[in-house]
Amino acid sequence: QKEVEQDPGPLSVPEGAIVSLNCTYSNSAFQYFMWYRQYSRKGPELLMYTYSSGNKEDGRFTAQVDKSSKYISLFIRDSQPSDSATYLCAMRATGGFKTIFGAGTRLFVKA
């Protein structure tokens, strides 16, 4: 079993839709939960991070962490064609030296 599971998609939605992206994990030591966006032929860029459980909002993006269920989510409101990219969840233990990534979900937002 992988430490982090993420549905690779692809996920195709119309412009303006609310997008929900999810990951599950098995390692209870993870305390830092990140979402990266990766455009084609580019390196990942950090979108949001959450420490421990709870919600965090930044503009059209909301990150949620449920440590009791070992489940994290990223919501994108009013999705735009420019949001079309691969979204990677990532996790790290406190004091740990490595970040574990999910496989990434490919998102297409159609105009």
Catalog residues that contact another protein under the rule CB under 8 A.
4, 6, 8, 32, 34, 36, 41-46, 49, 88, 90, 92, 97-104
User: Which of residues 19 and 89 has its CB atom nearest to another protein in the complex?
Assistant: 89
| Nearest distance, CB of residue 95 and another protein, angstroms | 9
Query: Whole-angstrom Cα distance, residue 11 to residue 86?
Result: 10
| Nearest distance, CB of residue 78 and another protein, angstroms | 26
Name the residue with tokens 């195709």.
Answer: 12
Query: Whole-angstrom Cα distance, residue 74 to residue 64?
Result: 6
| Nearest distance, CB of residue 55 and another protein, angstroms | 18
